[in-house]
């Protein structure tokens, strides 16, 4: 059995954090890991912070991850990625986030600075953790960002049980038939995008503006039909 | 596998189950026939799981009742008629149910009654973190406490068995991170039967009428039943022994028991852990044996010192010389965690446990907080915006429970006082007594109005209280996940709110769509001027529910986002920020922009701009149906 691994998934209510957690749990179960997980609910779906905790490996009896213990933080929103990574990652841990922005009230009303990707990277470096992100240009339907992030995680092989095939299988199992095809398309395109980005050595942190993504990459994604999720 | 399949599949199976879903499966497997509830975190997924089974395939009757007291009474009544019954609700729901709860141990429950509680240590989604273990002592009802989804499943079956056998109610107390935890759980098979719903109520099974001196034989009976539970309580313990003989032990229950065990194992397993699954009545024999086998013991429990006090008394009575430590008083607040437990253990046994220095990472960069907020399109936002123009600095706004509780946060600041569900009208009546110079506005949602708000309205009418009720009607119980409430849903529009108010004698009733700012402002002004109890209803369907329903029909459903025809001037910008729709964000240079991923195109913001710069977007060409 592997040593304990702690994964935190976070974002803003309504981003599909629950599904992402279920998919990762499913891939880990298929790989024979003993998994425990828990998730925050309550008022979370009203634009608040949502987290899913996943723990597996030797000695795991309980589902909650404590501060400074997470090996990975997978975030669906930049600010929440930064916040949770800062508080929860262990030294040397990794933050991977989908680079979308949902400004909180104080930013909108009082101009409280919202961190840009460079600030997040610097913060993480100072904190002794690694940060990288993905953004898929022209991804229609924000409900698909979770699947795009899964594509990135699977392609980068961050967790041995989480591969392109295992995530695909989990999506097939967990998604309702109606939205399955669309989700798999987004997943595949995100995998392709991540692979290309990796080859170009800009996978760690693409500090470039998202609009700078090579025209070729953007075109690849654009060629997919309009996409939406559950 | 879908949740519906999970809980209705006949064969035994193993799956990754959430605690709430494991409870739902146990409900079906145990042959529980009547299940009632009032929705509230952390338990509503039990109801969602049960209702995911098509009605024709259900071996049970289920309803979300109007409030927790009603739900408990229905389940109890069904149990007196011979059907195994279950009621579930959140922590503070027990306060509402308590008036009928206390009598339940006096009743001979021939069917069986399991009361499932979702307690909320840490107040993640409640107005307090009350420790409902106190209720088991007050009501003479035994209590079981699982630590995980697997134990939740097993202990529900146990609770049903005890309840049926002893014909007494049984509590099953869950906490947030047992309800929402997931782990592999092996379920047993389902026995399909054609339950004929026999009516077995007979007064000879009672008496069921406790008044004056008749209370005492019934109470005596309840106390005797509790005494017969010792063998069960002693069976429902788990002991994890230390590897080395340190003489140190922890007694615990629920999730903290497993957290303690994990902490101890990580530190070399030097402490034995006794996990109690029945936490009332406590298992005397098991506890005393554990105490006498150890030199030093700590009781680790979440929230109040309930077991600790009783275990200390038990040790004293038995003349046990063991040393029982107390947790520091700072630890009786909030949800426990492995870190907190390690801190407790290292403060008591520093030779065996060392808590790492707490690092704080908050100093690097200021990050803006993210409080929850009303959804784009929410009618409550429009209702608050209209009211903010009418209220002055001396006005008092009384808040209530529901999505509208979020109105207390910036930018709305609507709601200064919050006690409980449905309190607002009566609290407002009190604030308005002999206080004619200040306007008092009570906020309430439609779900809460039905739940506990109506008596306050009757009282305000009868006493001619000069207050205004601002009833925000979104036609659903939105905050907890859109369960039906008596005015809508599965049983249709049976109860008409304005008609009900009229029949109660309310002299001033006006209603408008919440997006109609002009009308709402006019009505609120008239209501404040009206001499007597006035009600203004701001109606708009829950847009989260509506958007989801539309996307279920067409996954690509999207109304075009609004746009700016020109940059908003200072007045408009101020108004848009006061309106507070999260779709309006800041661009790179601080300019106001529309987040197209967020905007649902509802148009609630159109009347907010005085200069008319907010415009409906052009229709989107793409639609799922084109492909």
Asked if residue B600 and residue B558 are part of one domain, the reply reads yes
pLDDT tens across B241-262, in order? 998 889 999 999 999 999 999 9
| B548 in contact with A, Cβ within 8 Å | no
B358 falls within a domain: no
pLDDT at residue A46 in the model: 72
Q: For residue B551, which residues of chain A lie inside 8 Å, CB to CB? A: 228, 230
Decide which of B521, B542, B563 is a domain's last residue.
Answer: B542
pLDDT tens across B552-577, in order? 888 778 899 999 999 999 999 999 99
Question: CA of B585 to nearest chain A CA: how many angstroms apart?
Answer: 5
Asked if residue B517 and residue B562 are part of one domain, the reply reads no
pLDDT at residue A226 in the model: 27
Decide which of B542, B575, B599 is a domain's last residue.
Answer: B542
Q: What 8-state DSSP symbol labels residue B407? A: G
Greater pLDDT, B619 or B572? B572
**What is the pLDDT confidence band of residue B6, given thresholds at 50, 70 and 90?**
confident
Q: Using alpha carbons, select from B270, B275, B283, B269 the residue that is nearest to residue B257.
A: B275
B367 falls within a domain: no
- Counting one residue from chain A and one from chain B, the pairs whose CB atoms sit within 8 A come to 179
Torsion sign across C-alpha atoms A202, A205, A206, A210: positive
Q: What 8-state DSSP symbol labels residue B478? A: T
What residues 55-114 of chain B have any CB closer than 8 A to a CB of chain A?
A: none
B360 falls within a domain: no
Q: Say how far apart CA B462 and CA B460 lie, in whole Å.
A: 6
B355 falls within a domain: no
Asked if residue B576 and residue B502 are part of one domain, the reply reads no
| Closest CB to B365 among A26, A115, A226 | A115
- Give how many domains chain B has, as a whole number: 4
pLDDT at residue B625 in the model: 37
Question: CA of A35 to nearest chain B CA: how many angstroms apart?
Answer: 6
Task: Give the pairing type, strands B113-119 and B61-64.
Answer: unpaired
Angle between helices A145-155 and A164-174 (to 10 degrees): 150
Range of the domain at B254: 236-348
Decide which of B499, B518, B542 is a domain's last residue.
Answer: B542
| B593 in contact with A, Cβ within 8 Å | no
Cβ distance of A230 and B364 shorter than 8 Å: no
Asked if residue B332 and residue B281 are part of one domain, the reply reads yes
What is the pTM assigned to this prediction? 0.94
Here the CATH number for the domain that contains residue B70 is: 3.40.50.970
pLDDT tens across B443-478, in order? 999 999 999 999 999 999 999 999 999 999 998 888
Could you tell me what percent of chain B has a pLDDT over 90? 84
Cβ distance of A64 and B372 shorter than 8 Å: no
What residues 186-205 of chain A have any CB closer than 8 A to a CB of chain B?
A: none
pLDDT tens across B588-597, in order? 888 999 999 8
Q: Using alpha carbons, select from B381, B390, B372 the residue that is nearest to residue B540.
A: B381
| A226 in contact with B, Cβ within 8 Å | yes
CA-to-CA separations, A69 to A55, A61, B15, in angstroms, rounded: 10, 15, 27
Q: For residue A51, which residues of chain B lie inside 8 Å, CB to CB? A: none
| Closest CB to A59 among B125, B182, B266 | B266
Here the CATH number for the domain that contains residue B243 is: 3.40.50.920
Ordered structural domains, chain A, with CATH: 5-222 (3.40.920.10)
pLDDT at residue B93 in the model: 97
Q: Say how far apart CA B255 and CA B400 lie, in whole Å.
A: 31
Report residue B130 as tokens. 């009350």
Q: Using alpha carbons, select from B343, B153, B368, B171 the residue that is nearest to residue B267.
A: B343
Asked if residue B194 and residue B159 are part of one domain, the reply reads yes
pLDDT tens across B388-437, in order? 999 999 999 999 999 999 999 999 999 999 999 999 999 999 999 999 99
| B584 in contact with A, Cβ within 8 Å | yes
Q: For residue A26, which residues of chain B lie inside 8 Å, CB to CB? A: 16
| Closest CB to A109 among B262, B411, B624 | B411
Asked if residue B221 and residue B278 are part of one domain, the reply reads no
Asked if residue B570 and residue B603 are part of one domain, the reply reads yes
Q: For residue A37, which residues of chain B lie inside 8 Å, CB to CB? A: 16, 181-183
B362 falls within a domain: no
Q: Using alpha carbons, select from B269, B259, B249 the residue that is nearest to residue B315.
A: B249
Q: For residue A105, which residues of chain B lie inside 8 Å, CB to CB? A: 371, 373, 409-411, 580, 582
B548 falls within a domain: no
What residues 393-422 of chain B have any CB closer than 8 A to a CB of chain A?
A: 403, 406, 409-411
Asked if residue B327 and residue B264 are part of one domain, the reply reads yes
Asked if residue B242 and residue B143 are part of one domain, the reply reads no
| Residue of chain A whose Cα is closest to the Cα of B374 | A46
For every residue of B25-75, DSSP letters joined together read: HHHHHTT--EEEE---TTSHHHHHHHHTS-GGG-SSEEEE-SSHHHHHHHH
Mean pLDDT, to the nearest integer, of B78-107? 98
| A92 in contact with B, Cβ within 8 Å | no
Asked if residue B515 and residue B454 are part of one domain, the reply reads yes
Cβ distance of A126 and B261 shorter than 8 Å: no
Cβ distance of B580 and A105 shorter than 8 Å: yes
pLDDT string in tens for chain A (230-residue length): 568 999 999 999 888 899 999 999 999 999 999 999 999 865 656 788 999 999 999 889 999 999 999 999 999 999 999 999 999 999 999 999 999 999 999 999 998 999 999 999 999 999 999 999 999 887 767 788 999 999 999 999 999 999 999 999 999 999 988 889 989 999 998 998 888 877 764 443 333 333 333 333 333 332 222 222 22
Asked if residue B85 and residue B102 are part of one domain, the reply reads yes
ipTM for the predicted complex comes to 0.94
Torsion sign across C-alpha atoms B50, B33, B149, B174: positive
Q: For residue B556, which residues of chain A lie inside 8 Å, CB to CB? A: 141, 226, 228
Q: For residue B5, which residues of chain A lie inside 8 Å, CB to CB? A: none
Cβ distance of B364 and A86 shorter than 8 Å: yes
Asked if residue B399 and residue B329 are part of one domain, the reply reads no
């Amino acid at each position: 059995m592997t040593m304990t691994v702690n994964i935190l998934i976070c974002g803003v209510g309504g981003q599909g954090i629950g599904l992402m957690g279920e998919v990762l749990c499913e891939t880990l179960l298929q790989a024979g890991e003993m998994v425990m997980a828990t998730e925050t609910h309550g008022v979370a779906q009203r634009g608040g912070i949502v987290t899913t905790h996943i723990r597996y490996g030797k000695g795991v009896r309980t589902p909650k991850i404590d501060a400074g213990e997470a090996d990975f933080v997978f975030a669906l929103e930049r600010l929440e990625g930064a916040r949770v990574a800062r508080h929860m990652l262990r030294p040397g841990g990794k933050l991977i986030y989908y680079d979308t922005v949902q400004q909180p009230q104080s930013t909108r009303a009082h101009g409280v600075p919202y961190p840009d990707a460079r600030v997040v990277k610097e913060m993480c470096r100072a904190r002794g953790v690694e940060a990288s992100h993905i953004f898929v240009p022209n991804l229609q339907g924000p409900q698909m960002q979770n699947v795009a992030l899964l594509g990135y995680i699977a392609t980068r092989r961050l967790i041995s049980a989480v591969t392109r095939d295992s995530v695909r299988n989990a999506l097939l199992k967990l998604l309702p038939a109606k939205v399955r095809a669309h989700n798999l398309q987004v997943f595949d395109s995100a995998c392709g995008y991540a692979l290309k980005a990796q080859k170009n050595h800009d996978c760690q942190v693409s500090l470039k503006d998202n609009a700078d993504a090579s025209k070729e990459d953007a075109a690849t994604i654009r060629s997919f039909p309009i996409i939406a999720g559950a | 596998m879908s949740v519906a399949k999970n809980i209705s599949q006949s064969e035994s199976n193993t799956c990754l189950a959430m605690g709430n879903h494991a409870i739902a499966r146990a409900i079906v497997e145990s042959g529980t026939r009547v299940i009632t509830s009032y929705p509230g975190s952390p338990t509503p997924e039990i109801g969602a799981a049960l209702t995911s089974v098509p009605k024709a395939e259900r071996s049970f009757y289920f309803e979300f009742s109007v409030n927790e007291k009603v739900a408990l009474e229905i389940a109890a009544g069904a149990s007196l008629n011979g059907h195994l019954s279950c009621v579930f609700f959140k922590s503070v729901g027990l306060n509402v149910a308590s008036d009928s709860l206390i009598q339940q141990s006096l009743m001979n429950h021939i069917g069986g009654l399991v009361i499932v509680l979702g307690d909320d240590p840490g107040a993640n989604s409640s107005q307090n973190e009350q420790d409902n273990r106190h209720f088991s002592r007050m009501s003479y009802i035994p209590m079981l406490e699982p630590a995980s989804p697997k134990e939740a499943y097993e202990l529900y079956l146990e609770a049903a068995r005890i309840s049926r056998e002893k014909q007494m109610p049984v509590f099953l107390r869950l906490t947030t991170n047992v309800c929402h935890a997931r782990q592999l759980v092996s379920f047993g098979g389902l026995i399909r039967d054609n339950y004929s719903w026999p009516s077995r109520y007979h007064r000879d099974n009672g008496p069921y009428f406790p008044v004056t001196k008749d209370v005492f034989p019934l109470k005596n009976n309840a106390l005797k039943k509790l005494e017969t539970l010792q063998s069960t309580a002693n069976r429902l313990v788990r002991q994890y022994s230390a590897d080395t003989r340190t003489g140190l032990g922890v007694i615990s229950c629920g999730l903290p028991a497993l957290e303690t065990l994990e902490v101890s194992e990580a530190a070399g397993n030097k402490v034995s852990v006794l996990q109690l699954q029945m936490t009332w009545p406590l298992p005397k024999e098991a506890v005393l044996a554990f105490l006498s086998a150890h030199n030093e013991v700590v009781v680790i429990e979440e929230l109040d010192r309930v077991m600790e006090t009783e275990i200390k008394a038990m040790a004293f009575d038995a003349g046990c010389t063991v040393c029982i430590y107390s947790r520091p008083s700072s630890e009786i607040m909030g949800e426990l965690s492995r870190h907190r437990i390690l801190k407790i253990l290292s403060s008591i046994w520093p030779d065996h446990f060392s808590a790492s220095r707490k690092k704080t990472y908050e100093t690097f960069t200021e990050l803006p907080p993210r409080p929850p907020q009303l959804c784009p399109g929410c009618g409550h936002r429009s209702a608050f915006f209209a009211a903010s123009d009418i209220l002055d600095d001396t006005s008092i706004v009384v808040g209530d429970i529901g999505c509208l509780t979020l109105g207390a946060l910036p930018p709305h600041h609507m709601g200064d006082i919050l006690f409980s569900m449905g309190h607002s009208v009566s609290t407002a009546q009190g604030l308005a007594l002999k206080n004619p110079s200040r306007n008092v506005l009570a906020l309430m949602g439609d779900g809460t109005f039905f739940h506990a708000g109506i008596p306050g309205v009757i009282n305000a009418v009868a006493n001619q209280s000069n207050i205004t009720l601002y009833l925000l009607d979104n036609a659903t119980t939105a905050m907890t996940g859109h369960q039906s409430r008596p005015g809508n849903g599965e049983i249709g529009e049976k109860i008409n709110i304005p008609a009900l108010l009229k029949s109660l004698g309310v002299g001033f009733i006006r209603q408008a769509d919440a997006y109609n700012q002009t009308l709402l402002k006019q009505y609120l002004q008239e209501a404040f001027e009206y001499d007597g109890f006035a009600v203004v209803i701001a109606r708009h369907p829950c847009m989260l529910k509506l958007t989801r329903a539309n996307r279920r029909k067409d996954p690509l459903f999207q109304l075009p986002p609004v746009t700016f025809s020109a940059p908003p001037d200072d007045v408009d910008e101020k108004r848009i920020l006061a309106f507070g729709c999260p779709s309006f964000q800041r661009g790179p240079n601080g300019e106001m922009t529309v987040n197209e991923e967020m905007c649902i195109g509802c148009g609630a913001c159109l009347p907010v701009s005085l200069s008319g710069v907010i415009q409906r977007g052009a229709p989107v060409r793409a639609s799922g149906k084109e492909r």
